[in-house]
Amino acid sequence: MQDNTHADIQQDLYDIRTVLLKQTRPNAVDVERELRLFKAKHQPMASHKPSRRHTALLVSLFAAAAVLLALFLLRPLIAGQSRIRENAMPQKLAMTTAAKHARYATISNGTRQASAFSSKTGRLSIPQEAYMLRQADASPRLLSVPYGCSADLTLPDGSVAYVHAGSELSFSPQYINGKRVVILDGEAYFKVKHDAAHPFVVQAGNVTTTVYGTEFNINTHAAQGIAVTLISGSVGVSAPHYSHRMAPGEQVSWSASGAHEQQVDLLPYTNWRDGFLYYDQQSLESILSDLARNYRLSVRFNDRSAMHLLTHFVCERGADINTVVTMLNQMGKARIRLENSTLVVTK
């Protein structure tokens, strides 16, 4: 069989993903097509970086002050919550269990009471009415998404946060100093509702991202450190000694040597938002590690030579793990089996 070129494989992946999307969501918008048209339209401008302003230091200081205020106001929530543990489960969860093998996420308002949300798949959908039990209740909330599932959360302002496994998102039903403030530990894709009068601010570590209405992804657990990826619109990012306004398709990441700006492929992010796990020319080790995080599994390579095999793979987020393993084996790259809670790779 003749090998496909990289471009051909990418097109095949796009076709497969489109068929899956149309089967499961007949009325869905073809996001990837719109994204390609958008990028083509703006391509001539991609090489022109925004000029640095002389007030960058002042902007950074102002952002830092806003962050300190947000942290102070949300501190009662954050201080009262422990970090996600692999097997952690609030006591009240047992009373709200929907199914024996369901996967769970919780929202707490700072007290010992926590609302639990469950699904037999790894994908949860949490609307506003699920946690806004009383309109007058303005106490901050903490969404905890353990390893093994993900959550699509509609925030109080109508924005949507697609929260990855092993992540926490703090948010408040009310404005904080005129802003919509959330605090992220982990990874989330944000689709922000436009509101010019009330900026949407994400605090992730020492990085502040400010938007008015756009789509972007933030990962505080990235290999580089913290990474902000802009899908559409415009966002401003700031950190100590750094301030920058991003353009669509750009990613800013931070490492020990400072901030790094680069253009990246947006398909993995938009596919994740739309309910798919999408990997393009990634190592088998990287793919299985990410799948293990989503399915609360571990990985063991008995055949270590397979770790660095580059491949393409796409499947539905929340699909049954046995189906995913079957699809992986059909690629013929390596032999993979599910042994208890471990993905085992053999020759």
Q: pLDDT tier at 347 (50, 70, 90 boundaries)?
A: confident
In this prediction, residue 302 carries a pLDDT of 93
Average pLDDT over residues 186-196: 95
Q: pLDDT tier at 47 (50, 70, 90 boundaries)?
A: very low
107, 141 in Cβ contact below 8 A? yes
Per-residue pLDDT tens over the stretch 281-323: 899 999 999 999 888 899 999 999 999 999 999 999 888 899 9
Per-residue pLDDT tens over the stretch 115-130: 888 877 778 899 988 8
Average pLDDT over residues 32-41: 51
In this prediction, residue 118 carries a pLDDT of 80
In this prediction, residue 11 carries a pLDDT of 47
Q: pLDDT tier at 266 (50, 70, 90 boundaries)?
A: very high
Per-residue pLDDT tens over the stretch 7-34: 444 444 444 444 444 444 444 444 445 4
Per-residue pLDDT tens over the stretch 160-178: 999 999 999 999 988 999 9
The values of phi and psi at residue 131, to 5°, are -125, -15
Q: pLDDT tier at 213 (50, 70, 90 boundaries)?
A: confident
In this prediction, residue 317 carries a pLDDT of 86
In this prediction, residue 333 carries a pLDDT of 86
In this prediction, residue 255 carries a pLDDT of 84
pLDDT cut 70: percent of the chain above it: 68
229, 207 in Cβ contact below 8 A? no
- Lowest-confidence segment of 55-64, 79-88, 149-158, 244-253 by average pLDDT: 79-88
In this prediction, residue 224 carries a pLDDT of 76
Separation CA 87–CA 104 (nearest Å): 11
In DSSP notation, 202-244 reads: EEETTEEEEESS-EEEEEEEETTEEEEEEEES-EEEEETTEEE
- The answer, yes or no, to whether residue 197 has pLDDT greater than 70, is yes
Average pLDDT over residues 75-80: 40
Average pLDDT over residues 155-163: 95
Tracing tokens 């020492």 back to the chain, one arrives at 206
In this prediction, residue 62 carries a pLDDT of 45
Separation CA 203–CA 216 (nearest Å): 13
In this prediction, residue 113 carries a pLDDT of 61
- The answer, yes or no, to whether residue 92 has pLDDT greater than 70, is no
Q: What is the mean pLDDT of the chain?
A: 76
Q: Which helix (H) or strand (E) holds 135?
A: none
Which residue in 213, 156, 159 sits closest to 188, CA to CA?
A: 159
In this prediction, residue 110 carries a pLDDT of 67
